[in-house]
Amino acid sequence: HQKLYAYYLAYIFFQIVFAFAVLRSTTLSVGNIFLYIPYRFSAVSETSQFLFIGFYIFFIINLLEIKKYNQPLTKALIYFGRFCLLYGLAIYIYLIVGKDSKISSEILAIVRLIVLPLNLVMLIWIIYKVKHPLLKYFVVGHSFFFIGAVLASYVMITKSNYHPESIFNFPYAPTIIFQAGLLAEVFCFAFALGENIFLLQKEKENTSQNLITQLQKNQQLQENMRVELDRKINQKTEELIQLYSKIEKQKEKQLKNSFTQKLLEMEMLALRSQMNPHFLFNSLNSIKHLIMTSRNEDAITYLDDFSTLLRSILYNSNREIISVEEELEILELYLSLEKSRMGNNFNYYIQASNREELSQFHIPPLLLQPFVENAIWHGLSTGNNPEKTLKVTFDTSDSLKITIEDNGIGRKASSEKKKTQKSMGMKITQERLALYNHSNDTSIHLEIKDLENKSIPVGTRVTLTYSY
Banded model confidence at residue 170, pLDDT cuts 50, 70, 90: low
Q: Residue 296 above 70 pLDDT?
A: yes
Q: Report the range of poorest mean pLDDT among 82-96, 149-163, 194-208, 303-317.
A: 149-163
- % residues pLDDT > 90 (the chain): 9
Whether 160 and 294 share a structural domain: no
What's the structural domain count of the chain? 2
Residue after which a domain boundary falls, among 166, 199, 232: 199
pLDDT tier for residue 422 given thresholds of 50, 70 and 90: very low
Helix axis angle for 44-63 and 135-158, nearest 10°, is: 160
Residues 256 and 342 grouped into a single domain: yes
Give dist(CA 237, CA 262) in Å, integer. Answer: 12
Residue 207 counted as domain residue: no
CB under 8 A, 24+ apart: contacts of 216-224 = 219/277, 222/274
What gap in Å lies between CA 341 and CA 321, rounded to an integer?
A: 29
pLDDT for position 394: 94
- Is residue 190 a part of any domain in this protein? yes
Q: Which of 181, 199, 217 is the last residue of a domain?
A: 199
Query: What is the pLDDT averaged over residues 176-203?
Result: 79
Shared domain for 286 and 429, answered yes or no, is yes
pLDDT at 420 over 50: no
Interval 96-125: pLDDT, tens: 776 555 555 666 667 767 777 777 788 788
Residue 212 lies in a domain: no
CATH number at residue 262: 3.30.565.10
Q: Which of 199, 222, 237 is the last residue of a domain?
A: 199
What average pLDDT score do residues 253-264 get? 67
Q: Of the ranges 195-209, 244-258, 305-319, which one carries the lowest mean pLDDT score?
A: 244-258
pLDDT, tens only, 363-418: 888 888 888 888 887 777 766 777 889 999 999 888 899 999 998 877 666 665 55
- Are 194 and 253 in the same domain? no
Claim to verify: residue 335 and residue 452 sit in the same structural domain = yes
Helices marked H in 169-276: 173-244, 249-272
Q: Are residues 279 and 394 in the same domain?
A: yes
Q: Report yes or no on 295 lying in a domain.
A: yes
Q: How many residues does the chain have?
A: 468
Mean pLDDT for the chain overall: 78
Same domain, 50 and 153: yes
Question: Quick one: 255 and 329 in the same domain?
Answer: yes
Residue 434 is part of which domain span? 247-467
Computed over its alpha carbons, how large is the radius of gyration of the chain?
A: 35
The reply to whether 68 falls in a domain is yes
Question: What tens digit of pLDDT does each residue of 317-330 get?
Answer: 778 789 999 999 99
Q: What percent of the chain has pLDDT over 70?
A: 79
* Domain contains 166: yes
Do 188 and 310 fall into the same domain? Answer: no
The amino acid that residue 109 corresponds to is A
287 and 409 share one domain: yes
State whether 193 and 255 are in the same domain.
no
Mean pLDDT of 218-234: 85
Structural domain includes residue 441:
yes
**Residue 396 is assigned to a structural domain of this protein:** yes
- 232-238: long-range contacts (C-beta < 8 A, 24 or more apart)? 233/263
Tally of CA atoms within 13 A in the half-sphere of 55 that contains its CB: 19
pLDDT at site 391: 95
**Per-residue pLDDT for 1 more than 70?**
no
The band of 279, judged by pLDDT with boundaries at 50, 70 and 90, is low
At residue 267, the pLDDT reads: 60
Residues 280 and 359 in one domain: yes
Residue 100 has what DSSP assignment?
-
Which one, of 230, 314, 308, lies nearest residue 274 by Cα? 314
